[in-house]
Chains A and B, each alone.
Chain A
Amino acid sequence: MSGDFSSFGNPSSDPQGAAPRGLIPAGGPSSLGSLTQSARLKQLNTARWILLAIGVLSVVVNVAVFFTIESEVDTIIQRDLNALRMRGMAADPAEVAKFRESTVRVAKLLQAGFIFVSGLFIVFGLTVKKYPVPITVTALVLYLGVNAITGVLDPSSVPRGIIVKIIIIVALVASVQSALAYQREKARPARQAGLPAD
């Protein structure tokens, strides 16, 4: 029979007794657990890079949008004024100026909020290994929430990049699960991996 388990300190000579079969590591059951932990750590590394990527890209895009807000608002107002003119109506210039100022301020305030949240994702990416569960859960919650807020403000943004958004959400959910398992294993004292006793 191939697989000499006794050479690795397993007193049982029954090859069926070991689970999983053929995988008794030289360090004993604890290194089997380390193998699992290292797999989870890889998942957390993936989460780290996803969070950093989301954060950096979002910061860049949101800062760029922040500086184009005024021109965007002017374009929208001009389009609405043209529509009014087509119907033979005109708007009070003083009211238009007041509306423009208020709209630009609201847009800048919201954009500043998005930039702040984007910065948070960078912080999450840098600290996810230290506090895996709270960080991954908060990141997922924030990602869902910010996308929902963006959807309310601009409904046309909902289908935009939907595939990428779904992939990110699935990856973040997987990160939460790995973080939970990693945290549990880290907190647990060394144990036997189910090998039969002497």
Chain B
Amino acid sequence: MNGEPSGERELPQQQEIALGTCWRCGKEVDLGRAQCPYCTAGLLREARPALAKPTARDPDAAALTRMLVVFGGLLAVSLICGFAAQGIVSSDLGSDDSIDREAAGLLAVFEGIDTVFVLAALAWVPVRFRHPRRSLGQRAGAWTGFVLVMAGLVALNLRYHQSLRDLIDFVSLEEQISTAGDRLAVWFLIICVQPAIVEELFFRYLVLGVLRSVVNVHAAVWISAVMFGLAHLGAPLSIPILVLLGVGLGYARTASGGILLPMFLHFLHNGAIWGIHAGWVGML
């Protein structure tokens, strides 16, 4: 084993096993073995540095892991909110007005917690992907086109929930809440403003940005849309249509290159649905 290799000794070109040299005795061994068959030195222990996942130094992997941790945290917050909401519904509060007041307070608190979560996530999770800049014409086209797409999604949403209503006597949140003067502003913030800003910052800026670093645009849009749908734990039957809404908003984000368009569309969508249920906008 000392000196130059003999000319007759040909090492195989293609190896099913990784041949190498034992670090202790210097003999040729199969590195896939746990121990050197000659001197019993541990081989896989030495191999461990080579097999170490490079993800500790991979910034995209770190960002993805952090993003998923934040998503898990948001789900946990929604879970606790769901328990609290069930407590309100099942408690003997008396009038519908009292229940409405309690529900508004509860949702305001939990949306506040979600907002803090998302702001912390924006500071903690690095978004390295930069969406390509769009020309003025492309942005104008995106804004025009996706407003029309959103109109279609609103119609689809209404049709979907009408079908649910026909099938199972489904009642959505927008149909239950009161538009009484003193709580109108609170519900407006809860239903239209907070989701449009905070949810878009999380799902279409942070999640989509992190995913774009590791997968292509279509996979990133659909995965972020599934996350968006699943985050609405309080309305599990609405998740399919919410996923489609998330897809539309995701493609709006990539088509426009900015976050303003999906924010505006989300605001429009929630406002339209609420307005229709409240009777302010003519029913279809």
Contact = CB atoms under 8 A, between A and B. Distances in A.
Interface of A: 1-8, 19-27, 31-32, 34-36, 39-40, 102, 105-106, 109-110, 113, 131, 133-134, 137-138, 140-142, 144-146, 148-149, 151-153, 155, 158, 173, 176-178, 180-181, 183-184
A27 B16 CA distance: 11
A149 B237 CA distance: 10
A26 B12 contact: yes
A20 B46 contact: yes
A142 B230 contact: yes
B18 A152 contact: no
A31 B32 CA distance: 12
Contact of B58 (A25, A40, A153, A184): A184
Instruction: Report, nearest first, the 5 A-B pairs whose CB atoms are least far apart.
Output: A22-B23, A145-B230, A2-B26, A152-B82, A26-B19
23 contacts: A2-B26, A5-B21, A19-B49, A20-B46, A21-B46, A26-B20, A27-B19, A133-B219, A137-B215, A141-B227, A142-B226, A145-B75, A145-B233, A148-B230, A148-B233, A149-B236, A152-B83, A152-B233, A176-B68, A180-B55, A180-B64, A181-B54, A183-B214
Question: How many of chain B's residues touch chain A, expressed as a range?
Answer: 35 or more
A73 to B, nearest CB: 13
B60 A144 contact: no
B216 to A, nearest CB: 8
A6 B76 CA distance: 58
Contacts of B68: 137, 140-141, 173, 176
A102 B72 contact: no
Contacts, number: 174
Among A26, A144, A146, A183, the most chain B Cβ lie within 10 Å of the Cβ of A26
Contacts of B219: 131, 133-134
A96 to B, nearest CB: 14
Interface in B15-31: 15, 18-26, 28, 31
A152 B89 CA distance: 14
A178 B54 CA distance: 9
Nearest to A183: B214
B167 interface: yes
Contact of B22 (A3, A138, A146, A181): A3
A142 B26 CA distance: 50
B11 interface: yes
Contacts of B13: 27
B65 interface: yes
A8 B236 CA distance: 61
A2 B72 CA distance: 51
Interface string B30-57: 0110000000000000110111011100
B71 interface: yes
A181 B234 CA distance: 36
B47 A35 contact: yes
Nearest to A10: B21
A99 to B, nearest CB: 9
A23 B23 contact: yes
Contacts of A145: 75, 226-227, 230-231, 233
A41 to B, nearest CB: 12
Contacts of B23: 2-3, 21-23
Contacts of B18: 25-27, 31-32, 34-35
